[in-house]
Chains A and B, each alone.
Chain A
Amino acid sequence: GDSVTQMEGPVTLSEEAFLTINCTYTATGYPSLFWYVQYPGEGLQLLLKATKADDKGSNKGFEATYRKETTSFHLEKGSVQVSDSAVYFCALRMYRGSNYKLTFGKGTLLTVNP
């Protein structure tokens, strides 16, 4: 079945460091890919998305490129801030049976220290 694997955390960085959170997926077909962010005590927020191969999603300085050849959607940011501390979820969405199904990775906790 469909699955998403993302790097295990926690990830701890200093402010202004470069961030990469790896995400790979397994799916038969061409999924849409998403990154969601969950700040402490809150629900998930859509951070960025890509719906086809080679698309680059970007938002708030974060970027991820849909790589079909490596089945990856790695999240990057050039200079993290303390306010980026949160849990990040990679997800894919596929049409299965008669419905769309959203599958999440386990999440990666990011802590950014001043």
Chain B
Amino acid sequence: KAGVTQTPRYLIKTRGQQVTLSCSPISGHRSVSWYQQTPGQGLQFLFEYFSETQRNKGNFPGRFSGRQFSNSRSEMNVSTLELGDSALYLCASSLEVGTPYGYTFGSGTRLTVV
């Protein structure tokens, strides 16, 4: 079966712009989570969506937002980009919120802010 698909794979944006990243979960998975990965901070949790509702949120400023559609696809948006937002953004899907079996991750979107 198809895995978690993230688009685009690479993005270059200018400071002050906004960006939207997309994540299509594994078919049948209803929970989508987003993580930011940087060399300095490692993997940091952004938010989790289930049935179009945000169920959990990490400690990121309001410039970071997300949503989930009825088909479980999710988007995250970052407004007013800063240089420090350069990172690999990973999406992970799971069957339900709280499954003990871990997530399936996508390959990520590499965002570079210049």
Interface residue A25 (Cβ < 8 Å from any Cβ of B): no
Contact (Cβ within 8 A) A102 B45: yes
- For residue B6, which residues in chain A have a CB less than 8 angstroms away from its CB? 43
Chain B, 83-114, contact with A by CB distance < 8 Å: what is the 0/1 string?
00000001010000110111111111000000
Task: Check A99 against B42 for contact (C-beta < 8 Å).
Answer: no
Mostly, the A contact residues are strand
- Interface size class, chain B: 20 to 34
A106 touching B107, Cβ below 8 Å: no
Q: Are A99's CB and B102's CB within 8 A? A: no
Contact A101 B100 (CB under 8 A): no
Knowing A99-B55, A104-B42 are in contact, say whether A42-B107 is a contact too (CB < 8 A).
yes
Indicate the member of A43, A46, A98, A105 with the most B CB atoms within 10 Å.
A43
Which residue of the partner chain, among B55, B97, B105, contacts A44 with CB atoms under 8 Å? B105
Whether A32 and B103, one on each chain, are in contact in the complex, defined by CB atoms closer than 8 angstroms, is: no
> Binary interface profile of B, 44-72, with partner A (CB < 8 Å = 1, else 0)?
01001000000110000000000000000
Residues of B within 8 A of A98 (CB): 55
A residues at B contact (CB < 8 Å): 32, 34, 36, 41-46, 49, 51, 89, 91, 93, 95, 98-102, 104-107
B contact residues vs A (CB 8 Å cutoff): 4, 6, 33, 42-43, 45, 48, 55-56, 90, 92, 97-98, 100-108
In the complex, 30 of the A-B residue pairs with CB atoms within 8 angstroms, ordered by the A residue number, are A32-B100, A34-B102, A36-B105, A41-B107, A42-B107, A43-B4, A43-B6, A43-B90, A43-B105, A43-B108, A44-B43, A44-B90, A44-B105, A46-B102, A49-B100, A51-B100, A93-B100, A98-B55, A99-B48, A99-B55, A99-B56, A99-B97, A100-B98, A102-B33, A102-B102, A102-B103, A105-B42, A106-B42, A107-B42, A107-B43
